[in-house]
Amino acid sequence: MFIRPLALLVGAALLAACSSDEKVTQRDAYGRYATTSDYKSMSRAELEEAMNAGLIDVDKRTAELETRASTLGQDAIEELHDQLDNVAECRTEFVNELARLRAALDKDWPDRRDDVVDAYTELRKKLDNAYEEVFEET
């Protein structure tokens, strides 16, 4: 008597959970997106998704750095401006490499993977360095 409604409820809950449109990108213990060792095993779509998520994260961390530096005083702000040039240059290089990956033919995209990953890794290093330099000024 209660088995059928219970089975329908469980089935509906399972269907709702499986049909979620939300895509989850894996992060490591530090909140960073997939490690470079994972990039080789990704499909093209997965790599693009990880790179897009990484770019969003970089932009978010850059904005956070700007906000925090503005509260630390003039020395931190001056160092921020010095560091942001490097970050912006690396970001542009990464976005260009990502565009080349998207434009590559299916047979050629694996050859673009290393260039995109290298540009992303360099961008993350520059941003991490900017954090260190700005907060060193306090």
Q: Which token pair is 74?
A: 């003039």
Residue 17 included in any domain: no
Please tell me the total number of residues recorded for the chain in this structure.
138
Q: Is residue 11 part of a domain?
A: no
Tell me if residue 27 falls in helix, strand or coil: strand
Neighbours of 40 (CB within 10 A): 11
Distance CA 49, CA 23 (A): 9
Q: Classify residue 16: in a domain, yes or no.
A: no
Q: For residue 116, is it within any domain?
A: yes
Give the closest residue to 50 by CA, choosing from 26, 68, 77. 26
CA distance 122 to 94: 9
Residues 65 and 132 sit within 8 Å (Cβ to Cβ) = no
Domain that holds residue 99: 24-136
Answer yes or no: is 75 within a domain: yes
Q: 5 in a domain, yes or no?
A: no
Q: How does pLDDT run along the chain (138 residues), one tens digit per residue?
A: 445 544 444 454 444 444 444 444 455 555 655 544 455 567 888 999 999 999 999 999 999 999 999 998 898 899 999 999 999 999 999 999 999 999 999 888 888 999 999 999 999 999 999 999 988 866
In a domain, 129, yes or no: yes
Whether this model's pTM surpasses 0.75: no
Strand, coil or helix: what is 2?
Answer: coil
Within the chain, residue ranges assigned H as helices are 3-18, 36-39, 44-70, 74-103, 109-136
In the chain, how many domains are there?
1
